[in-house]
Structure 1
Amino acid sequence: MLLVDGSSYLYRAFHAMPDLRAVPGDPTSAATGAIRGMINMLQKLRKDVRADYVACIFDAPGKTFRDDIYPEYKATRSPMPPDLRAQIEPIHEVVRLLGWKVLNVPGVEADDVIGTLACLATERGYHTVISSGDKDLSQLVNEQVMVIDTMNDRKRDVAGVEAEFGVPPRQMVDYQTLVGDSVDNVPGVEKVGPKTAVKLLQEYGSLDNLIARAGEVKGAVGDNLRKALDWLPKGREILTIKKDCDLGEHIHGLPSLEDIAVGNGQNVEALKAFYERYGLKGLVSQLRTHEVPPELIEEHRNRAKVGPGAQPAGLFDEPDLSGLSQASTLHYDTIFTWEQLDAWIAKLQVSELTAIDTETDSLDEMKAEIIGISFSVKPGEAAYIPMGHRYHDAPEQLPLEGVLEKLKPWLENADRKKLGQHLKYDRHVFANHGIEVRGYEHDTMLQSYVLEVHKPHGLASLAERHLGRTGIDYESIAGKGARQIPFAQVPVDKAAEYSCEDSDQTLDVHHALWPKLQADSKLAFIYDLEIKTSEVLFCVERNGVLIDGPMLSRQSTELAQRMLQLEREAHELAGQPFNLGSPKQIGEILFTKLGLPVTKKTASGVPSTDEEVLEKLADDYPLPAKLLEHRGLSKLKGTYTDKLPQMADAKTGRVHTHYAQAVAITGRLSSNDPNLQNIPVKTAEGRRIREAFIAPPGHRIASADYSQIELRIMAHLSGDEALQRAFREGMDVHRATASEVFGVTPQDVNSEQRRYAKVINFGLIYGMSSFGLARNLGIDNTAAKNYIQRYFERYPGVKNYMDQTRLSAKSKGYVETVFGRRLYLPEINSPNGPRRGGAERQAINAPMQGTAADLIKLAMIRMQEVLDAQDRRTKMVMQVHDELVFEVPEDEVEWVKAEVPNIMANAAELKVPLLAEIGVGSNWEEAH
């Protein structure tokens, strides 16, 4: 758990930064120095400290219980500078947007909230890092709680507190009571300073003993002590940090702590708007440069074998931050000679299961080359083969080609069982060197994904969570930021320890997780599904898909011209030029100049100009419609038409996406670098991008997807006879629903009624309320309620399924797919109504999304098996949710048109038939 003393940060940020203004040089403009400082400090902290739970705690306005005890408390403090006070609300807003839970609890101070959370964390076995410059928090330090002062690079663990103050943390309250706190206007014992306080506590052991034996203390110190005897209990009460605050509604979900669990990271779009509003142009450009989806960040961490956030050198130099026990005696070898290599190959040949880890020069699996390889054959025993370390005085290393030649027979032997952490990456790395690794049996990342989908799956997190082992983080050996060196320049001794530890921990984690999977047949099935999917994804990623670069360049030019035209039209409608990318300027034009109705405000009270607002306004006003169209084209251009040609392999013209497998809680795959799953298809411009995904000469593109897959899964799960009958009889399910809801024969259903029924069908499986349905259909709430009531009357099995699923989820904390994948819902019993409601909607939809994800994986696996068994030249080149895309030689087109829908439809047997449809064309769009 990482807790930030936000009040301490506020003042530090304010005094550390210059007098910055939202509009430079304008003294009437809002000050932003504290805002900028706060952002910088929090971003650095998240990079430096790995955490599963994070919160930033501020002092709440108003009196606290200490003011009741002692009215003079903090009476000598200067009032908060007006410029800082004006920045507090936006600071709270931006901290939330950065992904932190913000807490400020009335009646107590930030320190008390921190103390309560740290105490809860300790009780539940978590380790807590508190970031603050306030020495008072030292009293919270123990073997599981540490305070860091990032401004002064100071660490206050148990030893650090005693070294700094002369007393252990357990005596800090007594020490502070004797010395007093001049900053907070809390008197101590007159003329008793730090040295005297330490001396007294060392002699008497505690403040209570000192008070009891006050008559023994001689001289002026004794006189002053006796004068203060009546005050000291009150002083101690004031200075003692509470550890039992009633946080109540201020943090929902306690004592599970899930309310401050690390979530999906930054709200990028909202951050852009915030930065632009406060003139933080540098941060806007930085955000654009580093705009990476959370799932990709997690995948990169898995690839680099570094846990979420790394511990920085200088703050956490010890190998074991938390005092947790390491594995038994470690024996790590570094292989420099052929004799050593032969001896280890002999070990590999007889090992029942070997963990492998590659160290490379790149995170791009299609380009990465090997710097070194490590193996572990049993916990605590590993070896590293350095081959590509190049720096001054680097030791002589075995040549890469020769080592791989010796290892190749073992690597390609399917009988020699192997495991890895995110093994798909290592499989690509070996393939880059002409080796097709066989015998990959296990992947610890996927084991964690199946067992505990809602938790981090990086190796560092797994080792700490399941073994109590902490290890060397990547940045401690390679540095960080601009100063980070390539792995090839990391000293061999450090690289060997780091890589051996990764292999060793991977094997150790496997021994902890594998028995849990074996004990549950459903989870064992899902794990086998994920392992086989990983093998298929390796093939799909390796195949890549051919794109027409010149076509995309032409589209970019056309989009740019259309955007310029839209900009001119927008300026004309506004009656003045303005920046179409600036929410602040857009807000001024729409709401101040044109007087359009304000439908929504940001947390800081500024009228919102987000997409939802513009869509509402676009129904009645032309300017918002222009802005929406401009935004859409800008995203298409920046994300696809400009970038895709740059991402294609220079030799083959193919784009190789990366499928992140251990990300979505539903089991869905996520495509990134580039993201091929979010190409918009509702606009003509978006569909044209798919035209650039082409087949090479002599080939065609085929696209096959499931028809109404989630509705079919709902029919299976709910057991509703009417819904199942509609699918079994091959009816148009939306027409059938319209017939039931509107009380007409299927033949008499008109297009409007069918459209309503389609919205109802899909809306209900996503947990849509009557309010949502009313808004979606443009009808009043009463009519929407009536439609839903009629739907449930005609399909009672669906209503029963939804009710039972909610109850089961509340009881178990998770729901399951048809095949047994567990989908956890941490907020299902939250006292927070909106959060609980969101979890209940997830409980309804997740089994359908998850089952659909399982089905497409089963289809992919079977499809690849058939392609391999029949030695077909057809290649699977993309997976987009419920769709598979193939590159097909012209002489195999008819086979594909017949076989692929058949394989997909028979991927599993449900209570209703599955239906897959296929199209063929010269490009992806034409195949639809």
Structure 2
Amino acid sequence: MSALPTPDTQEPKTLLLVDGSSYLYRAYFAMPDLRAVPGDPDSPATGAIRGMINMLQKLRKDVRADYAACVFDAPGKTFRDDLYPDYKATRTPMPDDLRAQIEPIHEVVRLLGWKVLYVPGVEADDVIGTLACVATEHGVRTIISSGDKDLSQLVNDHVVVIDTMADRRRDAAGVEAEFGVPPRLMVDYQTLVGDAVDNVPGVEKVGPKTAVKLLKEYGSLDALIARAGEVKGVVGEHLRKALDWLPRGRELLTIRTNCELAEHMPGFPDLEDIVINGQDTEKLKTFYDRYGFKGLVRQLEQHEVPPETLKARAAQAAPPDLFSPADEPEPPQLPTRVTNLSYHVVLTWEQFDELLARLEVSDLVALDLEADSLDEMRAQVVGLSFSTEPGVAAYLPLAHSYPDAPAQLPRDEALARLKPWLQNPERRKLAQHIKFDRHVFANHGIEVRGHVHDTMLQSYVLEVHKPHGLASLAERHLGRAGVDYEQITGKGAHQIPFTQVPIEKAAEYSCEDADQTLDVHGVLWPRLLKDNKLRFIYGLEMQTSETLYRIERNGVLIDGPMLARQSRELGERMLQLEREAYDLAGQPFNLGSPKQIGEIFFNKLGLPVVKKTASGAPSTDEEVLEKLAEDYPLPAKVLEHRSLAKLKGTYTDKLAQMAQPSTGRVHTRYAQAVAVTGRLSSNEPNLQNIPIRTAEGRRVREAFIAPPGHLIASADYSQIELRIMAHLSEDPALLRAFTEGMDVHRATAAEVFGLAPEQVSNEQRRYAKVINFGLIYGMSAFGLARNLGIETSAAKSYIDRYFQRYPGVKQYMDETRLSAKSRGYVETVFGRRLYLPEINSPNGPRRGGAERAAINAPMQGTAADLIKLSMVKVQQTLDEQGRRTKMILQVHDELVFEVPEDEVGWARDEIPRLMAGIAQLRVPLLAEIGVGPNWDQAH
């Protein structure tokens, strides 16, 4: 039986999909004829391989994502060839030297940390369409990287297509601006115009302008076909001639969104199979050596050098209180955008002293840092830019190392002389994504203070549903397009590291970033000043950034040998399960192949067909296997094998590899400006999705250990979202249950089943727990019936009785939907705005999803606000009291600490008290804490 979804599965994340087939052709034609042995035409061609590496590395740098896959076309025919034998008949065959590079490209893409997918019988676009559709259903936004215009038909409020080589972004507005029609009409548009590349005819004499005109006049292709007799002239004649062809043309051009992917993603439609991973450095070295990529080998070797030992952390004052409405004056109005930019390069000590003097007297300085790596625990400073007024900025180059580079000031000495200003909390600084910059400075022994503003977080608070990168902000709020990174580093084989960028180009690029950051702040900060609630949330985000920096810097100690033992044991158990499955099936088969599973289950063993795929074949997805496993042993073996394979591949095999060699600690990165609910996401590695519902999954947490003389403490909120529901709904019965300290699930069961609390059975309490959490997520009677294994009519009866006993909850849900439709957003208890673009959509399923989000988002968002408030308060207390306890992880509603043995008593008493007292709701907050030698035993 499926367990009820928890808040873990509801958190909005980002899926990044790369159109690998588009990428490899672009890489091939953009690159020179590179060879593994330069000058030897008989050695393997490597241009496309190198181009793919460069493109994916840049994409990984520019786009932060939780899930990612690189999708290629599989060899052989597809269903479209059966529909139309001439499909793609006019295409030029793939060049032999490109074909020879495909397998190495697949290999290196995997080594770079991407999931590689290619599915026989369908095209890459169909796989991308299916994953984007599944992601949307799971509340995950999708970014597709491709130059293929066909993918524009997938664009909606949750899906965007970016073309990095053409610097093009196709969101809904971008598609309509480029093609003249919205994304929902792109298939109709393509059908009329045809696709010469794929040899799909359209309507003769109908080009893009005519197609747009027809669709605007008639509204859709179906309407145009129905009224074809009304279209006059030559266009009408050709349209009527094509009427028999148009349905087949549309079918050929329509991207499928229902492909069966479980054979290639065992957990499908669970996206955890494509969680983005770190690169395999050792195997990449071998690969780069094999193909003669000496520069890439050097980059890897440089990144492996441990950072210099950090200097002793200076005593740090506690972070300031959260912003209050009057603690900072409104900034002076920025002057009209200057057109004559004044960017300077600092190369002498005289110029440096002049710059430093200006910094010392400036009220606010925009600071931009250029580093030699995206690995924030190892990156080193290459150069710094400072902007103190619009249009004026200075670049301080410190580590450019190309032939004939001008002499630069010694990096260590320059940073030492900047250190007092950087560490002075009175010198106010502004940046875009300050947390990364702080890590890089810390690698040089500098603890930056006085960072009072972050334009990324300003955007996140004001417009959470929009992109927050500096380029997007500058274009959206200033109408400015900046210098692109590839304009100064080059592309493909000619791309160079930032250390080799000529200083004059680096100065233009970096100064512009600092200048734009100052200008964006001048637009966004006055907007925050006008709304005290949003300003409070911004203050919370700024302090959360400080706390996250501390958590990331601390890292968590990993027991590598224990993970290796777990991997071996999981592998042995998987082999045992395979043998047991073979015995039950009466023959060997591939436990990861839906096709073979279907043949065994339904053809050989005659198991009942629970549901079918879109093509009419019996489905073997997760839901079907769980249903069959209730009555048959073989599906249970297959399910267990799948879960162990995911656990082994995602965690026990990889976590130890991601630890810093010098410390044995894993330093996850917390993405703060991603989830629309305000929740944090963890990546590289993702420590928030470690499965804990199985014994094997919980054992992974055993490998998160305390060093000698310390213990792990885990503190989390009890039933936080139900308590928030009680606060928001003000339902008397729900308020009473929490205020009197009752078992809320037992109390709900008593209300729903009309019993005294002491008469409630464990099964009835379980039913009530599913109802309590299910209604938070908008669960229907059908969904409740499926989760409880009962009839839909019985589930509906339970829901009706629930609302009769808790009328305040029903009233809150109804009023929240109406308010969301009117305002376009909902708010948390503390004023965070959660926008719902689909709340008035004419599309029923999308509108329904937005209505469910309107109910749930205030609870998830308020829970996110509370855990952030707790993080900040606990860290402040640790600093104020000089404690040696370290906060090392944040996972949903849980904080994890590394506690010296002599501070365990303090932690047990004080941390839950601080968390419970962080806010006064209509019901008491309750935080609980556990302590043990590892995370599992503490939890």
User: Structure 1 length as normaliser, TM-score?
Assistant: 0.70
1:640 is aligned to 651
Distance 2:871 2:850 in 1: 30
Aligned positions of 1:784-823 closer than 5 A: 784-823=795-834
- Does 2:694 align with 1:686? no
Q: Number of aligned residue pairs: give it.
A: 716
- Does 2:622 align with 1:611? yes
- Does 2:216 align with 1:244? yes
1:409 is aligned to 420
1:383 is aligned to 394
1:24 is aligned to none
- Does 2:826 align with 1:826? no
Distance 2:204 2:87 in 1: 28
Q: 1:288 to 1:905 in 2, by over 3 A?
A: closer
2:126 is aligned to 93
The partner residue of 2:924 within 908, 913, 928 is: 913
2:541 is aligned to 530
Aligned positions of 1:401-440 closer than 5 A: 401-440=412-451
Q: Which amino acid aligns with 2:127?
A: V
Distance 1:131 1:486 in 2: 18
Cα pair 1:376 1:503 within 8 Å, conserved:
yes
Q: Which amino acid aligns with 2:699?
A: R
Cα pair 2:276 2:684 within 8 Å, conserved:
no
- Does 2:356 align with 1:345? yes
Partner SS, residue 926 of structure 1:
helix
Distance 1:532 1:185 in 2: 59
Q: 1:871 to 1:651 in 2, by over 3 A?
A: same
Q: Which amino acid aligns with 1:99?
A: A
2:476 is aligned to 465
Cα pair 1:551 1:692 within 8 Å, conserved:
yes
1:850-886 per-position Cα deviation (integer Å, ceiling 9, x unaligned): 0011001111111011110010111111111111111
Q: 1:841 to 1:730 in 2, by over 3 A?
A: same
Partner SS, residue 339 of structure 1:
helix
**Greater RCO, 1 or 2 (C-alpha within 8 Å, sep 6+):** 2
Partner SS, residue 674 of structure 1:
coil
Q: Which amino acid aligns with 1:81?
A: P
Partner SS, residue 455 of structure 1:
coil
Deviation of 1:590 (Å): 3.2
1:36-67 per-position Cα deviation (integer Å, ceiling 9, x unaligned): xxxx9xx99x9699999xxxxxxxxxxxxxxx
Distance 2:163 2:431 in 1: 30
CA RMSD, 1 decimal: 4.3
Cα pair 1:127 1:144 within 8 Å, conserved:
no
Deviation of 1:600 (Å): 4.0
1:150-183 per-position Cα deviation (integer Å, ceiling 9, x unaligned): xxxxxxxxxxxxxxxxxxxxxxxxxxxxxxxx99
Partner SS, residue 404 of structure 1:
helix
Q: Which amino acid aligns with 1:533?
A: T
Deviation of 1:629 (Å): 0.9
1:401-429 per-position Cα deviation (integer Å, ceiling 9, x unaligned): 01101111110111111011110000111
Aligned positions of 1:134-153 closer than 5 A: 145=178
Cα pair 1:130 1:145 within 8 Å, conserved:
no
Deviation of 1:374 (Å): 1.2
Aligned positions of 1:889-928 closer than 5 A: 889-928=900-939
Comparing 816-825 with 616-625, which one deviates more in the overlay?
616-625
1:198 is aligned to none
Partner SS, residue 355 of structure 1:
strand
Cα pair 2:263 2:593 within 8 Å, conserved:
no
Deviation of 1:500 (Å): 1.2
1:772 is aligned to 783
Cα pair 2:278 2:684 within 8 Å, conserved:
no
Distance 1:807 1:796 in 2: 17
Aligned positions of 1:286-435 closer than 5 A: 328-435=339-446
Q: Which amino acid aligns with 2:398?
A: M
Q: 1:452 to 1:184 in 2, by over 3 A?
A: closer
1:260 is aligned to none
Distance 1:101 1:556 in 2: 30
Partner SS, residue 573 of structure 1:
helix
The partner residue of 1:583 within 591, 594, 600 is: 594
2:530 is aligned to 519
Cα pair 1:716 1:724 within 8 Å, conserved:
yes
Q: 1:771 to 1:400 in 2, by over 3 A?
A: same
1:885-920 per-position Cα deviation (integer Å, ceiling 9, x unaligned): 111111111111110110000010000000011111
Q: Which amino acid aligns with 1:682?
A: R
Deviation of 1:585 (Å): 3.3
Cα pair 2:725 2:859 within 8 Å, conserved:
yes
Cα pair 2:747 2:757 within 8 Å, conserved:
yes
Cα pair 2:456 2:673 within 8 Å, conserved:
yes
- Does 2:459 align with 1:448? yes
Gaps of 5+ in 2: 1-18, 30-51, 65-82, 90-118, 136-148, 167-172, 181-199, 224-254, 267-272, 280-335
The partner residue of 1:876 within 868, 883, 887 is: 887
The partner residue of 2:740 within 729, 753, 777 is: 729
Comparing 840-849 with 627-636, which one deviates more in the overlay?
627-636
- Does 2:682 align with 1:671? yes
Distance 2:368 2:690 in 1: 35
Same amino acid, percent of matched pairs: 66
Cα pair 1:700 1:922 within 8 Å, conserved:
yes
Deviation of 1:595 (Å): 4.0
Distance 1:621 1:360 in 2: 57
Q: 1:142 to 1:651 in 2, by over 3 A?
A: closer
Distance 1:329 1:561 in 2: 68
Distance 1:816 1:235 in 2: 47
Q: 1:551 to 1:48 in 2, by over 3 A?
A: closer
Distance 1:184 1:863 in 2: 65
Distance 1:479 1:100 in 2: 35
2:610 is aligned to 599
Partner SS, residue 609 of structure 1:
coil
Q: 1:83 to 1:605 in 2, by over 3 A?
A: farther
Comparing 613-622 with 458-467, which one deviates more in the overlay?
613-622
1:194-252 per-position Cα deviation (integer Å, ceiling 9, x unaligned): xxxxxxxxxxxxxxxxxxxxxxxxxxxxxxxxxxxxxxxx999968754615556999x
Distance 2:867 2:275 in 1: 34
Gaps of 5+ in 1: 1-5, 17-39, 53-78, 103-113, 133-139, 148-181, 188-233, 252-265, 278-286, 294-324
Cα pair 1:99 1:267 within 8 Å, conserved:
no
Distance 2:570 2:861 in 1: 37
Q: 1:403 to 1:799 in 2, by over 3 A?
A: same
Comparing 519-528 with 328-337, which one deviates more in the overlay?
328-337
Deviation of 1:573 (Å): 2.5
2:718 is aligned to 707
Q: 1:467 to 1:292 in 2, by over 3 A?
A: farther
Cα pair 2:887 2:898 within 8 Å, conserved:
yes
Cα pair 1:660 1:670 within 8 Å, conserved:
yes
Distance 2:880 2:590 in 1: 58
Cα pair 1:326 1:469 within 8 Å, conserved:
no
Deviation of 1:806 (Å): 0.6
1:754 is aligned to 765
User: Structure 2 length as normaliser, TM-score?
Assistant: 0.70
1:544-572 per-position Cα deviation (integer Å, ceiling 9, x unaligned): 11121111111111111111111222223
Q: Which amino acid aligns with 1:856?
A: I
Partner SS, residue 935 of structure 2:
coil
Q: Which amino acid aligns with 1:744?
A: L
Q: Which has the larger radius of gyration?
A: 1
Distance 1:506 1:782 in 2: 58
1:844 is aligned to 855
- Does 2:579 align with 1:568? yes
